[in-house]
């Protein structure tokens, strides 16, 4: 089993915007300035330094962000490489309705992956 971060939205751009909330959370870990989950930002480069960005990105390696099409590609590759047959996802998204939509899109993506790989069921 693998546990990953999944931030899904109807478009890649919206998913990446929603992802900034999780990035801010990890910025707080890196900087020692912990805060509750914050609203998304238009540009993370305004709030973190290059070293903070690199540290946070390393911790967020297993984060899958994007539209259903993007997620299907990246998650399929991950599942094959990792050899897992079970996946647990977390979607730390600030707005509740966007979080519910992310889980719905993630579930649909996993169903599409299962349909495309005979005998596979995640």
Report yes or no on 27 lying in a domain. Answer: yes
**Residue 113: C-alpha distances to residues 27, 68, 86 (Å):** 32, 11, 13
Report yes or no on 122 lying in a domain. Answer: no
Distance CA 98, CA 39 (A): 12
Q: How many domains does the chain have?
A: 1
**Domain of residue 28, residue span:** 2-116
First to last CA, the chain: 10
Report yes or no on 98 lying in a domain. Answer: yes
Burial class (CB in 10 A: 0-12, 13-18, 19+), 40: buried
How high does pLDDT run on average in the chain? 94
67-76, 77-86, 91-100: which range is least confident on average?
Answer: 77-86
Task: Quote the pTM value.
Answer: 0.91
């Amino acid at each position: 089993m693998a546990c990953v971060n999944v931030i899904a939205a109807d478009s890649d751009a919206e998913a990446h915007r929603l992802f900034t909330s999780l990035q801010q959370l990890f910025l707080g870990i890196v900087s020692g300035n912990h805060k509750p989950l914050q609203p998304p930002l238009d540009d993370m480069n305004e709030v973190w330094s290059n070293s903070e960005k690199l540290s946070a990105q390393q911790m967020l390696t297993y984060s899958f962000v994007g539209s259903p099409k993007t997620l299907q590609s990246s998650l399929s590759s991950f599942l094959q490489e990792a050899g897992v047959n079970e996946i647990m996802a977390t979607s730390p998204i600030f707005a509740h309705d966007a979080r519910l939509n992310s889980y719905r899109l993630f579930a649909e993506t996993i169903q599409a992956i299962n349909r495309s790989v005979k005998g596979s069921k995640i």
